[in-house]
Amino acid sequence: MNVSTLANLRTRERNFYLLLALGGLLVAGGAWAAWAMHAHGHAITGMTNQVVWGIPHVFAIFMIVAASGVLNVASVGSVFGKPVYKARAKLSGLLSLALLAGGLAVLMLDLGRPDRVVIAATHYNPTSVFAWNVLLYSGLFAIVALYLWTMMERRMNRYSKYAGLAAFGWRFVLTTGTGVIFAFLVARQAYHSAVLAPMFIVMSLAWGMAIFLIAQAAIFAWHGREVDAAVRRRMARLLGIFVVAVLYFVIVYHLTNLYFARQTDFERFILVEGGIYPVLFWGGYVLLGTVAPLVLIYHPAFASSRMLLLACGLVLAGAFAHLYVFIIGGQAYPLELFPGYVTSSSFFDGVIEHYRPSFPEIALGLGGVGVAFAATVLGLRVLPFMRVDEVAAVDEAEGKAG
Phi, psi (degrees; rounded to nearest 5) at 195 = -65, -20
Q: What is the pLDDT of residue 394?
A: 74
* Residue numbers of the domain that contains 27: 21-401
Residue 3 lies in a domain: no
Residue 6 lies in a domain: no
Distance CA 54, CA 310 (A): 27
Name the nearest CA neighbour of 71 among 105, 103, 37, 95: 95
**Count of domains in the chain?**
1
Residue 16 lies in a domain: no
Distance CA 222, CA 388 (A): 10
Residue 94 lies in a domain: yes
Report the chain (402 residues): mean pLDDT per 10 consecutive residues. 63 84 94 88 82 89 93 82 83 93 88 70 74 84 91 85 88 87 77 85 94 92 83 90 94 87 82 88 94 93 88 95 91 72 62 84 94 93 81 69 52
Residue 2 lies in a domain: no
Q: What is the pLDDT of residue 349?
A: 62
Residue 206 lies in a domain: yes
List the CATH number of the domain containing 372.
1.20.1630.10
Residue 12 lies in a domain: no
Name the nearest CA neighbour of 68 among 22, 136, 120, 5: 136
296's CB contacts (< 8 A; 6+ apart) are 302, 307, 308, 310, 311, 314
Q: What is the pLDDT of residue 342?
A: 64
Distance CA 198, CA 219 (A): 32
Q: What is the pLDDT of residue 41?
A: 82
Q: What is the pLDDT of residue 7?
A: 64
Residue 82 lies in a domain: yes
